[in-house]
Chains A and B, each alone.
Chain A
Amino acid sequence: MTAPTDRDLLVRAMRGDNDAFGELVTRYQTGVFNVCYRILHERGEAEDLAQETFMRAYNRLEQFDLEREFGPWVRRVAANLCLNHLESRRVSAPLDDERDADQSQRPEKQVEVKERSEQIRGALASLPAQYRVVVELRHYQEMSYDEIASELKIPLSDVKSHLFRARKLLAEKLHAPD
Chain B
Amino acid sequence: MHLTDDQLNEYLDNESAERAQIDLHLASCSECAARLTALQTLFAELDSLPELELTHSLAARFTRDVNLTPQLPRWLTLTASLQAVLALITLIVAAPFVANLLPAIETPSLTVMLIQLQAQWTTWLDVLSTLQLPQFPQLPPLEISSLMLTLTLAGASVLWLVGNGLLLRKQIK
> A residues bordering B, Cβ < 8 Å?
16, 18-19, 21-23, 25-26, 29-34, 37-38, 43, 47, 50-51, 54, 58, 98, 100-102, 113, 116-117, 120-121, 135, 138-140, 144-145, 160, 163-164, 167-168, 170-171, 174-175
Which residues on the A side are within 8 Å of B15 (C-beta)? 144-145
B47-82 Cβ-contact flags toward A at 8 Å (1 or 0): 111111111111111110011110000000000000
Range, interface on chain B: 20 to 34
Instruction: Output the least CB separation between B145 and chain A (Å).
Output: 48
Choose from B42, B56, B57, B59 the contact partner of A175 (Cβ within 8 Å): B42
In the complex the two chains form, is A38's CB within 8 Å of B62's CB? no
Known pairs A22-B63, A25-B62; list 20 more (Cβ under 8 Å).
A18-B63, A18-B66, A19-B63, A25-B58, A26-B59, A29-B54, A29-B59, A43-B55, A47-B55, A47-B56, A54-B58, A100-B50, A101-B50, A102-B50, A117-B48, A121-B49, A135-B46, A139-B43, A139-B46, A170-B42
Bound Cα distance from A145 to B9, whole angstroms: 11
> B residues bordering A, Cβ < 8 Å?
5-6, 9-10, 13, 15, 38-39, 41-43, 45-63, 66-69
In the complex, number of A-B residue pairs with CB atoms less than 8 Å apart: 99
Bound Cα distance from A99 to B37, whole angstroms: 28
Which residues on the A side are within 8 Å of B5 (C-beta)? 164, 168
Instruction: Output the least CB separation between B129 and chain A (Å).
Output: 54
Which residues on the A side are within 8 Å of B41 (C-beta)? 175
Choose from A21, A33, A34 the contact partner of B62 (Cβ within 8 Å): A21
